[in-house]
């Protein structure tokens, strides 16, 4: 790969090639689409994984030069592909510049109100009609068709005329060129997601279903339709009106290497910029995605940002490009269980869930299957294993990489900070632990715990005894783990990791090796139980000793000072005993 400049945020294929910016060659996507033989293809990938750039590449590959007459640029663009992979295939090369193209990118149609979003869509449609206004120069349209064409360009048409734009414009283009039409729609689900968030979901669904249905079902002028988005929207099956497209998602094999960067591409890119020595850390931060059966994929947005400014170091880039509030909303489906799931994800334990191919936005906050499916398709989770028992298929899910992991770490802290406004008290508790002021740590924790648990007891009422025990156990563990996440700058936090002969509940390993490590062991009992706090405390102490946790921590982490903290919980009461082993 010849060394080139890095462009951040440039998603126009021609601009990248013309200005000799770095381009990771994904042109073989063309061959995959040709080989598919599908009339309509839907490709879903997380945001910032190259969808817009790939659709732009398809436009410049397929489009007849005449279509760009009013774009103030060189109409002949075959030179863009001269040195790229696709031109090594003669059967594909013959397709270059052969078809008229309708190109719509909807990534900007995400306004707060339906009226604003509709106006944005009208403008997008109007601009595409203007791009092809050369059609009006010949007598291929009737007077009525010319009137509607002009109204659409002037943004004065009605909703039916706008929603018929793909169907009508493709028919006009076929008449003009005597050739079938490629329809490319980028980020088709962006306005749908905006509608879900801002309360006009049904209106945008009805418009999109009408436009896509009329434009892609039974359209005799259509050569192929290609749509990209994050998920396949399933509101009354938005795609059913055109016999369902071929769908390529993160869990299907076709085109698995065409969005995002593969291991080989990242290695070559780092080598080009003399950063190959950092490959292992780059892998830890930005790798982790598995598309299809086993294609390893890196987050391209983060890789490009890192390569462009390596002096800034490895840091979260992708997670800062959009709100991550949806993750917390998913976990809030069951607040107590949600904390336990976040803990499992952070500790690398498999979380087994059913995944839907079709997602109904309206159910993300109420239906766990929809919620987990959205997180997977949106890039916040990856699949590590697939299990099938008769007709039931489940997937083991995990956090993809360190960059995404920082979201989940912050989430455990935010459960407390956002919901209970007690972050100052939590900071005081962590500072007491860091300064080894154990008396203050114990007092402040007991005070905080008393308030917090009394607030939440109603969440577990009216459950059976066994279920209450399990809920209490998850709650107590999640509470302490979330609290200790505020100390992540000082400690590595291990939850249910194997040490000695067993698995202590939580272990804190100091980043400053002159500071002590901590091993927490918890014992829980319901308010209805006859077990006393003193009994629970003794059981926790006994387990630490018999399972040889201290010895195991010493061997693994080579720390000299380990503090035992056995804790007993009963209802909203807490009892602990802190013991130092140097």
Q: How far apart are CA 100 and CA 170, in angstroms?
A: 8
Q: How far apart are CA 446 and CA 380, in angstroms?
A: 35
What single-letter DSSP state applies at residue 502? B
The pLDDT of residue 569 is above 90: no
Please count the other Cβ atoms lying within 10 Å of the Cβ belonging to residue 581. Answer: 16
Q: Which two tokens stand for residue 527?
A: 């308010």
Q: Which of the listed ranges 148-157, 205-214, 508-517 does the model predict with the highest average pLDDT?
A: 148-157
Kindly report the pTM of this predicted structure. Answer: 0.76
**Residue located via tokens 């007709």:** 391
Please give the C-alpha separations between residue 366 and each of 336, 360, 363, 417, in angstroms, as whole numbers: 15, 11, 5, 24
Q: What pLDDT shows up at residue 455?
A: 40
Size (the chain), residues: 582
Q: Could you tell me which residue, 288 or 32, shows the higher pLDDT?
A: 32
Q: Could you tell me which residue, 415 or 151, shows the higher pLDDT?
A: 151
Core vs surface per residue 229-243: b (16+ CB within 10 A) or e: bbbbbbbeebbebbe
What single-letter DSSP state applies at residue 516? P
Q: What pLDDT shows up at residue 331?
A: 64
pLDDT tens-place string over residues 164-207: 999 999 999 999 999 999 999 999 999 998 998 889 999 999 99
pLDDT tens-place string over residues 470-524: 556 666 777 787 778 778 778 888 888 889 999 998 999 998 888 899 999 998 8
Q: What pLDDT shows up at residue 325?
A: 64
Confidence of residue 394 (pLDDT cuts 50, 70, 90): confident
Confidence of residue 461 (pLDDT cuts 50, 70, 90): very low
**Residue located via tokens 């912050």:** 410
Range with lowest mean pLDDT among 97-101, 349-353, 457-461: 457-461
Pairing of strands 573-576, 579-581: unpaired
Q: How far apart are CA 274 and CA 268, in angstroms?
A: 10
Average pLDDT on 58-74 reads: 88
Sequence-ordered list of residues with C-beta below 8 angstroms from that of 297, at least 6 positions apart, any chain: 256, 257, 259, 260, 261, 262, 287, 289, 290, 291
Taken in order of first residue, the domains within the chain and their CATH numbers are: 13-248 (3.40.50), 263-318 (no CATH), 323-403 (no CATH), 422-581 (no CATH)
Q: How far apart are CA 78 and CA 85, in angstroms?
A: 13
pLDDT tens-place string over residues 345-379: 887 888 888 887 777 777 777 777 788 888 888 88
Please count the other Cβ atoms lying within 10 Å of the Cβ belonging to residue 530. Answer: 7
């Amino acid at each position: 790969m010849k060394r080139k400049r890095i462009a951040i945020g440039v998603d126009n294929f021609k601009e990248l090639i013309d200005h000799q910016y770095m381009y990771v060659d994904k042109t073989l996507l063309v061959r995959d689409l040709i080989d598919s033989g599908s009339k309509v293809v839907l490709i879903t990938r997380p945001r910032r994984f190259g969808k817009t750039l790939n659709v732009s590449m398809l436009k410049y590959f397929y489009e007849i030069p005449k279509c760009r007459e009013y774009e103030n640029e060189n109409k002949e663009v075959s030179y863009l592909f001269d040195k790229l992979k696709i031109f090594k295939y003669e059967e594909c090369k013959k397709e270059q510049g052969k078809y008229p193209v309708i190109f719509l990118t909807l990534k900007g149609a995400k306004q707060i109100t339906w009226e604003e979003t509709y106006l944005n869509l009208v403008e997008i449609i109007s601009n595409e009609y203007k791009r092809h206004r050369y059609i009006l120069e010949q007598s291929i349209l009737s007077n009525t068709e010319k009137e509607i064409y002009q109204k659409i360009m002037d943004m004065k048409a009605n909703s039916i005329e706008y929603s018929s734009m793909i169907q009508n414009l493709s028919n006009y283009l076929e008449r003009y060129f005597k050739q079938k039409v490629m329809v490319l729609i980028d980020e088709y689900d962006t306005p749908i997601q905006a509608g879900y968030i801002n309360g006009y979901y049904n209106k945008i669904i009805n418009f999109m279903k009408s436009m896509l249905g009329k434009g892609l079902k039974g359209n005799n002028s259509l050569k192929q339709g290609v749509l990209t988005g994050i998920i396949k929207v399933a509101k009354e099956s938005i795609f059913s009106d055109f016999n369902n497209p071929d769908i390529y998602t993160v869990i299907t094999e076709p085109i698995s290497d065409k969005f995002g960067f593969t291991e080989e591409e990242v290695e070559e890119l780092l080598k080009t910029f003399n950063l190959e020595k950092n490959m292992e850390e780059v892998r830890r931060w930005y790798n982790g995605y598995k598309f299809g059966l086993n294609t390893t994929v890196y987050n391209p947005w983060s890789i490009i940002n890192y390569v462009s400014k390596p002096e800034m170091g490895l840091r979260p880039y992708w997670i800062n490009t959009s709100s991550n509030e949806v993750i917390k909303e998913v976990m809030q489906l069951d607040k107590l269980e949600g904390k336990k799931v976040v803990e499992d994800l952070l500790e690398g334990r498999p979380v087994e869930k059913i995944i839907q191919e079709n997602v109904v936005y309206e159910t993300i906050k109420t239906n766990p299957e929809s919620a987990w499916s959205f997180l997977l398709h949106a890039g916040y989770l990856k699949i590590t294993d697939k299990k099938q028992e008769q007709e039931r298929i489940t997937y083991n899910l995990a956090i993809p990489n360190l960059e995404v992991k920082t979201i989940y770490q912050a989430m455990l802290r935010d459960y407390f900070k956002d919901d209970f406004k007690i972050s100052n008290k939590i900071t005081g508790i962590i500072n007491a632990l860091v300064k080894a002021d154990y008396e203050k740590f114990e007092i402040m924790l007991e005070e905080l715990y008393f308030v917090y648990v009394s607030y939440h007891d109603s969440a577990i009422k009216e459950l059976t005894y066994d279920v209450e025990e399990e809920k209490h156990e998850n709650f107590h563990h999640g509470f302490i783990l979330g609290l200790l996440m505020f100390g992540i700058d000082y400690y590595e936090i291990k939850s249910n990791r194997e040490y000695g002969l067993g698995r202590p509940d939580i272990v804190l390993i100091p980043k400053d090796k002159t500071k002590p490590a901590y091993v927490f062991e918890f014992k829980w009992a319901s308010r209805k139980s006859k077990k006393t706090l003193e009994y629970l405390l003794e059981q926790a102490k006994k387990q630490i000793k018999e399972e040889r946790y201290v010895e195991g921590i010493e061997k693994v982490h080579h720390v000299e000072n380990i503090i035992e903290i056995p804790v007993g919980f009963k209802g909203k009461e807490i009892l602990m005993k802190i013991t130092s082993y140097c």
